[in-house]
Structure 1
Amino acid sequence: MSNHGVVSREAWLDARKRLLLKEKDFTHAKDELSRERRELPWVRVDKPYVFQGPEGEETLSQLFQGRSQLIVYHFMFAPEWEAGCKSCSFWADNFNGVVPHLAQRDVSFVAISRAPFSKLQAFERRMGWSFKWLSSAGTDFNQDYCVSFTPEDLAGKRAVYNYAPLERPMTDLQGISTFYRDADGGLFHTYSCYGRGVDMMNTAYQYLDLVPKGRDEQGLPWPMAWVKLRDEYR
């Protein structure tokens, strides 16, 4: 950082305006990508999933809460873990405030994990979250949406994550899936993203991308090695 260029205000404005043109191109390209995403074909959901949550047992249809669209954040929390994934928690710290806004646009939001609901509740209280979080224990939901993997699939190298063979022997990984419920109650899977695909949902990362050091993750053992649960920072 000590060798970074320093120029006059006029020269800075000239460089900034050149970058602005690229930023506008990126924004327009993103708008087009979002349009294409919305035009993807859908897959009907026929399997009867039942989740454990704050209202007891709830079906996938009930998670829509009377709305036509549903976002599911696949939160990494395996049944044997005592705490949720610190990286997913980094994302989840962004969730509380957006839920009411999403509801105004006909969208419900939930997080779903494989851990038993009692563990989710305890961790939720610790972190001070209020978004709806449910357990998929006893269902194939996480496996069907390619965020959890059986020991047999891992051993046989049959696990698929982010639409490609899984290279890491992980039982649980993060993702986002979206669903639509039509007027007749039919359910449809419309989209899923994984890996870096969930990156844009992290507000803190988007802010870090604006500052001089950026995410400042070069030289770490892996990009998010610095992240902790927010009550563990010192």
Structure 2
Amino acid sequence: MPDRKVVDRHAWIEARLAHLANEKALTTARDQLSTERRNLPWLRVDKAYSFSTNRGRQSLDDLFGDRRQLLIYHFMFGPGWEQGCPSCSFWADNYNGVEAHLADRETALVAVSTAPLAEIAKYQSRMGWSFEWVSSHGSDFNFDMGVSFGDDALGPVMGLTVPSGSQGKYNFGTQEFGGDEAPGVSTFIKDDLDNVFLTYQTFSRGLDMINGAYHMLDLTALGRSEENHNFSMSWLRRHDEY
């Protein structure tokens, strides 16, 4: 148990109000950052991508459905893997049921992996997830988005070269990544002429904001309790493995 001071109600509220001021400052800063994010320039997607879906082969344009925006979660699940990545599975446990809310805000949510669709479907059934999950197997999509790697992998974001002096190809060339597949989020928008644009990407700790379970733990006294682990998520299991 953590060693914390125990105080009376008056002192407790006084401390809480001091912390509330910091929380409000963070909320204001986060709102400003969100505005800045929305005002970032766009990158037009001219390359044609093809995905295997439950409705057959589809293009990136098709994945929007009738929505103007598309949010893609790059789920670490490569060809021949027996099961999906446990950390991506933890994140995916937060996605069921949000599709209707996102759709009302003109946004489609789709997970994309390089594993063949049959392998994805088997694992998705095991996990009990209902969100749309498609395969980019045989496509450059995940490589171009900077989340799949190999000897012939392109630089992050549709073939752009990594920044000078960068340490690797992950997170816009700022991080080393030891595996063939990495997690990330890519968001797209479609204009009235059906042109598709990449509007934002985030990787690594930037993905924390879409994991509600982690944010719940952050509200508790024990928090994420990851300090004494070999690495932060070594405690994690798939939800049917605890």
- The two structures have a TM-score, normalised by structure 1, of 0.95
Is the CA contact (8 Å cut-off) linking 1:151 and 1:171 kept in structure 2? no
The 2-side partners of 1:69 and 1:202 are apart by 20
CA shift for structure 1 position 153: 5.5
The equivalent of 1:227 in structure 2 is: 236
The 2-side partners of 1:32 and 1:166 are apart by 26
Name the amino acid aligned to 2:71: I
The equivalent of 1:213 in structure 2 is: 222
Residues 90-169 of structure 1 mapped to structure 2, 5 A cutoff: 90-151=90-151, 159-169=168-178
Q: Is 1:196 matched with 2:205?
A: yes
Residues 11-90 of structure 1 mapped to structure 2, 5 A cutoff: 11-90=11-90
Change (3 A) 1:182 1:10: same
The equivalent of 2:193 in structure 1 is: 184
Is the CA contact (8 Å cut-off) linking 2:43 and 2:198 kept in structure 1? yes
Name the amino acid aligned to 1:150: G
Is the CA contact (8 Å cut-off) linking 1:43 and 1:188 kept in structure 2? yes
Q: Deviations over 1:195-223 (max 9, x none)?
A: 00001110110000011110000110110
Q: Is 1:174 matched with 2:187?
A: no
Name the amino acid aligned to 1:149: F
Q: Is 1:7 matched with 2:7?
A: yes
* Partner SS, residue 11 of structure 2: helix
Is the CA contact (8 Å cut-off) linking 1:69 and 1:178 kept in structure 2? yes
* Partner SS, residue 66 of structure 1: coil
* Partner SS, residue 133 of structure 2: strand
Is the CA contact (8 Å cut-off) linking 1:153 and 1:159 kept in structure 2? no
Is the CA contact (8 Å cut-off) linking 2:75 and 2:183 kept in structure 1? yes
CA shift for structure 1 position 159: 4.6
Instruction: Specify every segment of 5 or more residues in structure 2 that has no aligned partner in the other structure, as ranges.
Output: 155-165
Q: Deviations over 1:83-131 (max 9, x none)?
A: 0000000000010111110000100010000000000000000000010
Q: Name segments (4+ residues, structure 1) moved above 6 Å.
A: none
* Partner SS, residue 231 of structure 1: coil
Name the amino acid aligned to 2:239: R
Change (3 A) 1:135 1:159: farther
Is the CA contact (8 Å cut-off) linking 2:44 and 2:197 kept in structure 1? yes
CA shift for structure 1 position 136: 0.2
What is the aligned length? 231
The equivalent of 2:159 in structure 1 is: none
CA shift for structure 1 position 137: 0.5
CA shift for structure 1 position 80: 2.1
Name the amino acid aligned to 2:47: K
Name the amino acid aligned to 2:59: T
The 2-side partners of 1:174 and 1:232 are apart by 21
Instruction: Specify every segment of 5 or more residues in structure 1 that has no aligned partner in the other structure, as ranges.
Output: none
* Partner SS, residue 230 of structure 1: coil
Change (3 A) 1:103 1:69: same
The 2-side partners of 1:217 and 1:116 are apart by 34
* Partner SS, residue 160 of structure 1: coil
Q: Deviations over 1:163-201 (max 9, x none)?
A: 225423210010000000011100000000000000111
The 2-side partners of 1:137 and 1:197 are apart by 25
The 1-side partners of 2:136 and 2:78 are apart by 10
